[in-house]
């Protein structure tokens, strides 16, 4: 069964006028925005109150090993809210140095159009895309 996720202007950290994302790349970009939007900030849709997981806030609140251990499951649960994602695995590597917190998040997801991987670098202030591999 063929699937078409449509086409949108490419937008990770900024709008890229004239550049479009389709297929699994479109889903990967959407996941990035989902993981950088504070809960409740999306307006005008049915899921506005349940959308978003601000990773900078999440990382900033990690104070114990138990908190850090819960990160992959919390990220995975947020990603699976996107109905285009069939399965996802998340691995979080703590690269903190003293009081400075830095985490690398490895996301491997599968959609009806195929798999994609997304690697994010997160500190208490920013989320950066370290890598994205997606067909189309």
Q: Is 120 a member of any domain? A: yes
Q: Is 1 a member of any domain? A: no
- Which residues form the domain of 43? 7-134
Q: Is 57 a member of any domain? A: yes
More confident residue, 122 or 67: 122
pTM of the model: 0.84
pLDDT, tens digit, 9 for 90 and up, residues 12-47: 666 667 677 777 888 898 899 899 988 877 666 666
Distance (Å) of CA 34 to CA 41, 78, 95, 99: 11, 8, 23, 27
Q: Is 2 a member of any domain? A: no
Q: How many domains does the chain have?
A: 1
Q: Is the pLDDT of residue 110 over 70?
A: yes
Q: Is 30 a member of any domain? A: yes
Q: Is 45 a member of any domain? A: yes
> Domain of 64: which CATH number?
3.10.450.40
How much is the pLDDT for 108?
Answer: 97
**CA 72/CA 49 separation, integer angstroms:** 22
The end-to-end CA distance of the chain, in Å, is 18
């Amino acid at each position: 069964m063929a699937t078409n996720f449509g086409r949108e202007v490419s937008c990770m950290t900024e709008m890229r006028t004239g550049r479009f994302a389709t297929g699994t790349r479109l889903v990967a970009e959407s996941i990035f925005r989902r993981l950088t939007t504070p809960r409740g900030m999306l307006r005008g849709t049915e899921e506005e109150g349940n959308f978003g997981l601000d990773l900078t806030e999440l990382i900033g609140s990690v104070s114990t090993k138990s908190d850090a251990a819960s990160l992959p499951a919390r990220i995975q649960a947020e990603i699976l809210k996107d109905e285009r994602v069939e399965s996802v695995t998340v691995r979080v590597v703590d690269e903190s140095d003293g009081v400075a917190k830095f985490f690398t998040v490895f996301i491997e997801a599968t959609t009806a159009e195929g798999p994609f991987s997304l690697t994010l670098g997160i500190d208490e202030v920013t989320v950066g895309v370290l890598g994205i591999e997606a067909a189309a």
